[in-house]
Structure 1
């Protein structure tokens, strides 16, 4: 980051702050948005996992509201992150059609499209991303070009926890637009940087927005004691199909939870815990070692297990502690919700496809049914939830489920309730016509029986996804 950019950013932030709130008005809440990577719905003790202690994530739940019907915008990471940062269906943008962005993708978020950090910065916030970006190259489409004042983390889909190299084998740790080298376990480094960012933000005297996007518990399967394993798989694409155990996975999650505890302690130590919104969630459903109970399906699948995620929000100053919400919600709701809390709003030229959840969370409005749509190229998947009903298509087979009464998606109701089936299928077709069409050259990740034994029937999609090119690796 150049000195000129630092001065320009500071001047812009000061001007925005001066123009966003009248003199004497209460400061807007700080926001710490914590996103895990590939964490399953039940991989948190507060969501029922009996063999995994997550006391600090549970602290957030004890001080706030835990959603039981939270969805990711996609069953894979960068597509969901597109929806998070734009507040809109990812299928409106070419970058959102990548499932996920790979090492060969040269695009990213359009410069003119408003983003959550950019809109908060206009409202006077100091904005920072610590951790995963995965929405385009740092130089052309990086966090500093899309609304963040500061960035410390990695631009791809994952890094080795010790070497900090990506799936292409190249170093992928950055401070702003400068590639850096650090020694240490990635989860610990991200926690330390987040703590330092909080202290610096409080000292600056402005409300702050910190995105803390961990790579945990994404593969490769490495705990702080597994540096030898890191050396063993060096030079691979890190997918690590021959590694990992339940014990390893539990430790990876526990290390992330410890760093989240450090962040919560930093908020307390800096005297801002009461006035800080803390969100904890995941980018999609769990992968091979995850617990997705009571759902079936995994990452890359539009079954509930690929889409349902833990989601917790705490704001001690305004939200009830220890509450549970059955309100259906989705990743793109965070943009209008957090902007509302900050006294701001989405850009009217780019209206959000999500809703402001704040009236519901504060008890000013009742919970209400929602309608969500998804599609996923691999295995020709489509899904729609309307109230308690869900339409689902996988490889030409179609289903209708009541996902409240039947979260395992076992009882196919399409013949029993033909009118509902026809209505949802037609509604999905109407919605899909308003999105960008799928592209045959976009990447779409899937798993086959040769990789995961429980996927023995998968891999022969009617319209197969584009195969990876030479030297290309999913991120």
Structure 2
């Protein structure tokens, strides 16, 4: 059952539950084809029956999807029946966080299980150009390399964004196969990246495919799932969509792609940021097409009989931006307010995790790394200690998660959450918020509670002292 203990300041560790559940659509989730709404229940672990098998691990990342951009999380306009069904099949977390406020830091945190600032590549927000410094060093253990050492096959399709060739890449960091892009923003048709370079690869070999990128990734993903059914060992599959990241191109927007790509080739370095395009309707189209695509991948998992052997995580790499729906949070992508780091987080493992559950436990990217390593029977390298906390005991034995701080750092901001208290520094000013009653971070308690502010600031500075400094 959810832990109801209190922090040293007397705040309930789950005090935000009521606010978070209420604003993020916890009243009901409708499963695709279910025909009726089913009320969610507070999370409770299923009693263990014998030895738990090592699961296949499917991690699906959306790109720049906001905290409330799914209908399961309260979107008033966007319909996501397939992801709603995934939520109905397992547990929906109301307090999911990304480890970074933009693409590269979060992905590096997921792949390494550590704060982004522990390696030079994690200091880039995001990694934009190829060099021999900014990326995950091939010598650094990763989720893939550690699971591979424990007998898993490892695969990635989609956006890597952990460093460029020839120095960095998935195949150098433990993944057996890779098909996708190395950069961040990518045109959905031409496959040119915002740095002006073509960026579609099968492994480390450039390939051509003019089709809509989300559809290509879906096709490749279903092939990985099919191949997994034919092998006799568990697999890790990182499926990293670029949707709904800019440019604002749906499946029928080849003409928009042609215009933006021409501008990019003619020297307009800002073309793919698409500041002169997009709309709420176009964003809705991108997210709903992503939902249908994920539905196809999950259908293949069921068709091949692997669904009960596979734990599935769906999340976003950071908060949403321009057209995203982040209500009730303040801020968006690139900031350390809740809107920049709150993300959807859905976990499903039929038969091992009960259906239609909601969990108010605060969880972050590096927790998932630690969790999947433990489930896969892989031990972290003691020379590279993890910064996340495994949730295995909580998810499968009903254990309380030990009290821990959640930490964020960007070039322009800092944040640390302890219980329901959150310390934030923005524009050089320290602030303190009680998320249990002020999820919008509007009531600054810094002057009313100076001791709490000092304690959280000192905790942030202690972690920061062990990280690399920004140049």
TM-score range, shorter chain: 0.7 to 0.9
Question: What is the CA–CA distance in structure 2 between the aligned matches of 1:339 and 1:97, rounded to whole Å?
Answer: 25
- With normalisation by structure 2, the TM-score equals 0.86
Task: Say whether 1:314 aligns with 2:348.
Answer: yes
The equivalent residue for 1:456 is: none
- Structure 2 matches for 1:303-452, cutoff 5 A? 303-367=337-401, 369-377=403-411, 380-439=412-471
Q: Distance in 1 between matches of 2:354 and 2:219?
A: 29
Q: 1:291 aligns with which of 320, 325, 331?
A: 325
- Per the alignment, residue 206 of structure 1 pairs with 233
- After superposition, the Cα gap between the structure-2 partners of 1:59 and 1:145, relative to the gap in structure 1 and judged at 3 Å, is same
Q: Distance in 1 between matches of 2:381 and 2:229?
A: 27
Q: Tell me the equivalent position of 1:447.
A: none
Residue among 220, 224, 249 paired with 2:251 = 224
Q: Report the secondary structure of 1:238's partner residue.
A: helix
Distance in 1 of aligned mates of 2:427 and 2:437: 25
Distance 2:440 2:427 in 1: 19
| SS of alignment partner, residue 141 of structure 1 | coil
2-structure distance, mates of 1:26, 1:432 = 37
Number of aligned positions between the proteins = 413
Kindly state the Cα deviation for residue 385 of structure 1 after the two structures are TM-superposed: 0.6
Q: Runs of 4+ in structure 1 displaced over 6 angstroms? A: none
Given that 1:328 and 1:370 are in contact with CA atoms closer than 8 Å, whether structure 2 keeps it comes out as no
1:80 counterpart SS class: helix
Aligned to 1:110: 137
The answer on 1:82 being equivalent to 2:114 is no
Please tell me whether the aligned partners of residues 57 and 310 of structure 2 are also in contact (alpha carbons under 8 angstroms).
yes
Structure 1 CA distance, aligned partners of 2:386 and 2:462? Answer: 19
**Deviation per CA, 1:17-70, whole angstroms, max 9, x where unpaired?**
xxxxxxxx9862111100000000000111000211111111111111111111
Task: Quote the Cα distance in structure 2 between the aligned partners of 1:287 and 1:389.
Answer: 25
* 2:161 is the alignment partner of 1:137: no
Give the structure 2 partner of residue 125 of structure 1.
Answer: 152
Over aligned residue pairs, what C-alpha RMSD do you find? 1.3
Gaps of 5+ in 2: 1-50, 265-270
Q: Does residue 168 in structure 1 map to residue 195 in structure 2?
A: yes
Aligned partner (choices 300, 303, 309) of residue 275 of structure 1: 309
Q: Is the 8 A contact 2:130 2:165 kept in 1?
A: no
Aligned residue number for residue 13 of structure 2: none
Tell me the equivalent position of 2:17: none
Q: Find the aligned partners of 1:174 and 1:55 in 2 and give their Cα distance.
A: 31
Q: Is contact 1:27-1:207 (8 Å) kept?
A: no
SS of the equivalent of 1:427 reads helix
Q: Which runs of 5+ in 1 are unaligned?
A: 1-24, 440-475
2:143 and 2:462 mapped to 1: Cα distance? 28
TM-score normalised by the chain length of structure 1: 0.85
Map of 2:181 onto structure 1: 154
SS at match of 2:350: coil
CA contact (8 A) 1:327 1:369 kept: no
**Whole-Å Cα distance in 1 between the matches of residues 131 and 116 of structure 2?**
16
C-alpha spacing 1:104/1:348, structure 2 compared with 1 (3 Å): closer
State the match for 2:83 in structure 1. 57
Cα pair 2:147 2:376 within 8 Å, conserved? yes
Distance in 2 separating the partners of 1:285 and 1:164:
24
2:433 and 2:165 map into 1 onto residues whose CA distance is 42
Q: What is the DSSP-based 3-state SS (H/G/I as helix, E as strand, rest coil) of the residue aligned with 1:413? A: coil
Aligned to 1:181: 208
- Aligned partners of 1:50, 1:382: CA distance in 2, in Å? 31
1:345 Cα deviation from its structure 2 partner: 2.4
For residues 114 and 239 of structure 1, what CA distance do their matches in structure 2 show?
33
Alpha-carbon deviation of 1:367?
4.7
CA distance in 2, matches of 1:42, 1:363: 29
SS in 2 for 1:339: helix
2:285 equivalent in structure 1: 251
Contact 2:132/2:167 (<8 A) preserved: no
Taking the aligned partners of 2:377 and 2:453, their CA distance within structure 1 comes to 41
Shift of 1:364: 2.7
2:58 aligns with 32
- Whether the 8 Å CA contact 2:185–2:194 is kept in 1: the answer is yes
Query: Take 1:156 and 1:208, find their aligned partners in 2: how far apart are those partners?
Result: 25
**Once the 2 structures are TM-superposed, how far is the Cα of residue 183 of structure 1 from its aligned partner?**
2.5
Per-residue deviation at 1:105? 4.2
